[in-house]
Structure 1
């Protein structure tokens, strides 16, 4: 006797999810953000509306996961927290992160990356990533090299901001890219904007996934550049650690590096957004400064500032859609999910659930320093066995950047969205429109 199928949304409710949740999220850019779309989402409050749509659908279909009526594709969405946790805990098997959509997008610049891999070769590539990125350690073994890089670039950025009178997003991003290139490839790559431009071009193509042909010559040239960096890796860089690490069959080391360049980009966005919140939230700024002033770790381990990055990512996730794909039929409590079924976890729905989270729409880094939300799917870096292997390294670099700014300077918001600690924070924070001013700390 065959098992019952999972609940299925009506065509109307499927359309509401596609038009109100999926389309606005994809329009903003799944691989690299489109500033005009982020601005539009902020102006129309589309992300808050999307969370409301998912809440309404969940109330109508309380059991799940929920299958959608999508042509030419088996697709489901998880709506209950226990289903979200089960999905992530059962990755990569039977829920592979190598979904069809992700393959189409990321293959524009890293077709053999661990994220797109399955089976034994995925195990080899994941192990290599974890070894190089020190996944299991809060402080990377090259922290003594990386933290000064962050501090140097933030000092230069702040000096330029003082001379120019303001600190817009574009200037912060330029400084952040310098940090990324030095951490990944070494000091010689600090000003190699051409390398960054190549991956940006390919990532823009990735936004279109299936709909844009691959620039195979550009991709090949980019991956050759990465391979050359690994062949002549500068000591004290991630490239040097990668070059020296033992590699199993099919490791494809050059194909694992682009993900670092990709992932560090939204990390900079989360940092700038956290600075914007500090500039408008005196209590959070005071807590951040107390930690920076009392730090004895050399800015290697700053729990409150790390929690501030996590809170920035909770409020405004840079990966709002976590995708999986079933590798075989999977039994759930309410029915069977077919093989090759895409599964969507819409993170903002869980991150902004004011029915279960304290201060769901406020800035509360303290939640990450306690166990108050344990078991709830707060997933800024995904979770489970395929949690982002660079999570701890990202938190190291971003918290050091925050400390470098707030420790000695007063940021203020000159232009951009109004953030008020006494009101709910917006569903979208348009970092592209934010201009900060910085002055010596009073």
Structure 2
């Protein structure tokens, strides 16, 4: 009897054992924090601290982070790894298929409202898309996408934006040395004119308010929250006044042009648009630096500009490549809204999922010439869908302003290069070696000369 019972028990199917997650050990966690997570926080989560960036450039800080991530990937066989971060435990993705899934998941499964991000940005854009979720997020995203003409390479207001860029770039090409201060001034004025109209062009006070709010967001919303809310209210009132009679080509007018779902503030993204366009300044400067270091590529781009090639595809590819090498957002974070499985391991709802996209985009093991400037890669059909190189993200969480940002950045680069040649640059980049992992953008100087 006992033997028979034991036989039946042995034959009965057992439920599959739940696989334990790959988890970083103490030493690995400390290394990850010291070389990857903490440097991102010190550099600035919402607004870069250029003094810190300059220090990181001298120390080649990204090399430390890359070494840590390569070691973690090798030790765990490319599996997602649970690691302790500044705001709690997160699941770090290393495999290309996992990253592709990260981009493809719908927003009701992988949401963009990581708690630390909400805390840091809630004082800056409390009614914006990034601080929303569920139906409200979709409603706000619809208004946002309509204004930005998301997914369209040529914005309906392109002709007006070209006129604005041409006018604002004249002071840049009137000098022989170009640096970040001049470009920031030009892009700030372009930003206010494209978002709110010409009446806002000289409103540096509004720009200062928004910069103050963004700098305070670096402290996760814990720096003077009451003062920040009061400052936001002043900025909101000023923006509403400009938007009331903004020309139809502006983003504010486009946002107000159609009825919005109840509870949706059509101007809730205006703060984001204004500073997002200003962020194009360092993107433009880094792109021009790379072109100065690659004269053959500069010749190709200048020929395209001289021929008035529609869309400037070669120049856009150069801007994309600079963003691959030096992404605005080097780490992407989502939070699961439901229980999910990654590599057969179940993770509960509320799990933070982290993709170090800056690392993936340069990884020479997965991206040919990962540390080199090769803009031709973006002219290959389907390059925009490669999960290994996604400076704007992909899928439902893709940046809706990517096409507009590329358009404005390309137009500014074209104005600088039209009739001019970059004849000298600092720092000098050695194109025969891997490009540095970070650039001291504030220290870049470009010399403009006649061809």
Please report the TM-score for the alignment, with normalisation by the length of structure 2.
Answer: 0.92
Match of 1:199 in 2: 210
Looking at structure 1, the residues matched to 316 and 414 of structure 2 have their Cα atoms a distance apart, in angstroms, of: 10
Change (3 A) 1:72 1:137: closer
List runs of 5+ in structure 1 lacking aligned partners.
none
Among 71, 75, 85, the alignment partner of 1:60 is 75
Specify the SS of the correspondent of 1:254.
coil
Among 127, 134, 138, the alignment partner of 1:123 is 138
Matches within 5 A, 1:275-286: 275-286=288-299
Match of 1:43 in 2: 58
Among 303, 307, 316, the alignment partner of 2:313 is 303
Match of 1:407 in 2: 418
Match of 1:342 in 2: 352
Looking at structure 1, the residues matched to 106 and 418 of structure 2 have their Cα atoms a distance apart, in angstroms, of: 40
Deviation at 1:79, TM superposition (A): 1.1
Looking at structure 1, the residues matched to 85 and 124 of structure 2 have their Cα atoms a distance apart, in angstroms, of: 28
For 1:377-401, what per-residue CA distance to the aligned partner results, in whole angstroms no more than 9, with x for missing partners? 2121111112111111111111111
Tell me, yes or no, if the aligned pair for 1:321 and 1:345 is still in contact at 8 Å.
yes
List 4+ stretches of structure 1 deviating above 3 A: 1-5, 69-72, 371-376
Change (3 A) 1:81 1:372: same
Matching of residue 380 in structure 1 with residue 395 in structure 2: no
Specify the SS of the correspondent of 1:436.
strand
Matches within 5 A, 1:38-437: 38-70=53-85, 73-159=88-174, 161-162=175-176, 166-214=177-225, 215-297=228-310, 301-371=311-381, 375-414=386-425, 416-437=426-447
Deviation at 1:266, TM superposition (A): 2.5
* Bigger mean CA offset, 237-246 vs 365-374: 365-374
Tell me, yes or no, if the aligned pair for 1:81 and 1:376 is still in contact at 8 Å.
yes
For 1:113-156, what per-residue CA distance to the aligned partner results, in whole angstroms no more than 9, with x for missing partners? 11111111111111111111111211000001001111111122
Looking at structure 2, the residues matched to 195 and 411 of structure 1 have their Cα atoms a distance apart, in angstroms, of: 34
Change (3 A) 1:375 1:397: closer
Larger Rg: 1 or 2?
A: 2
Deviation at 1:243, TM superposition (A): 1.6
Match of 2:37 in 1: 22
Change (3 A) 1:40 1:330: same
Looking at structure 2, the residues matched to 35 and 155 of structure 1 have their Cα atoms a distance apart, in angstroms, of: 26
Looking at structure 2, the residues matched to 377 and 431 of structure 1 have their Cα atoms a distance apart, in angstroms, of: 25
For 1:352-379, what per-residue CA distance to the aligned partner results, in whole angstroms no more than 9, with x for missing partners? 1111222211111111110485534212
Tell me, yes or no, if the aligned pair for 2:293 and 2:431 is still in contact at 8 Å.
yes
Tell me, yes or no, if the aligned pair for 1:121 and 1:249 is still in contact at 8 Å.
no
Tell me, yes or no, if the aligned pair for 2:255 and 2:267 is still in contact at 8 Å.
no
For 1:386-417, what per-residue CA distance to the aligned partner results, in whole angstroms no more than 9, with x for missing partners? 21111111111111111111121122445x32
Change (3 A) 1:72 1:134: closer
Deviation at 1:219, TM superposition (A): 1.3
Deviation at 1:427, TM superposition (A): 0.2
For 1:209-246, what per-residue CA distance to the aligned partner results, in whole angstroms no more than 9, with x for missing partners? 14423211111111222222222323321111112122
Tell me, yes or no, if the aligned pair for 1:51 and 1:348 is still in contact at 8 Å.
no
Specify the SS of the correspondent of 2:88.
coil
Change (3 A) 1:356 1:63: closer
Deviation at 1:334, TM superposition (A): 3.1
Looking at structure 1, the residues matched to 166 and 238 of structure 2 have their Cα atoms a distance apart, in angstroms, of: 27
